[in-house]
Amino acid sequence: MAERFGSYEIYEELGVGGIATVHLARSRQISNPVALKRLHRHLATNRQLVGSFVDETRLARQLRHPGIARVYEFGKLRGTYFIAFEFVPGPTLLQLNDHCREYVGRIPNMVVLEIAYQLCDALDHAHTLRDELGLSLGIVHRDVSPSNVILSNTGQVKLIDFGLAKTKQSSVISQAGVIKGKLNYVAPEYLSGKLDARCDLWALGVVMYELLTGRRLFDAPEQGEILDRVRTLPIPPPSQWNPDVPPNVDQIVLTALARDPNQRWQ
């Protein structure tokens, strides 16, 4: 028997985190199945988290791009804040990469390049989005990583979870010194408090590197060691681990991974 939540019928759990749970759901008011994200009820009095939740919805509603999962509805029901957004059937890049590594080897280079191309297009839409007055919204996703990218069954790459995104119009002010996002994909300048769209391009460079090589780039047992590696680890070209990577693709990835953001893709 499906759980009822307002107009939604709740089915399988898709994911759970520290602040919210996501379920597959259906509503008579929406033709397609949705991913229903619900803030944990005990956090409803946390103004910082609720503000971030509202910001995510406000932001996501402005993003209209085939490579970004769209938002259908936002609200509060029986003390629980929720977002209903597009359900994308298909594996995350994390799942796809793990599956390929275990059964068939690395993801083919041309597939990696197509994924990167589509992600660049989606990020460009977010980074260059302007409001009705023509002013830049200054969007930075801050959490581009394999678990936040879905490869749909149609071949469309979808960037999801703008929950950590930073904009010039955010109602919530981040605490000084608090790094948002997964440490393995955080740009070195962000560790010093500098954040702009080029941080997302660094993260995309890490994702490309890991997909091309089948290896984690900065992984380490301790968080401090991960941060040290992000700051200083020499980064060999992907072709060192995958000889099928051509020199021009090495150059694309290493440019994205320039530690000086001025030397990175702009």
DSSP-assigned letter for residue 239: G
219 is catalytic: no
Nearest to 68 by CA among 152, 160, 172, 155: 160
List, in sequence order, every residue forming a beta bridge with 37; answer none if it has no partner.
22, 83
Token duo for residue 12: 């399988």
d(CA 201, CA 33): 31
Residue 82: what residue type? F
Nearest to 149 by CA among 232, 199, 93, 200: 93
d(CA 21, CA 8): 15
d(CA 164, CA 56): 8
Token duo for residue 130: 């302007």
d(CA 14, CA 41): 18
List, in sequence order, every residue forming a beta bridge with 92; answer none if it has no partner.
150
Residue of 55, 98, 121, 143 with catalytic role: 143
Beta-carbon-side half-sphere exposure of residue 216 (alpha carbons within 13 Å): 15
d(CA 256, CA 247): 14
Catalytic residues, which ones?
Answer: 143
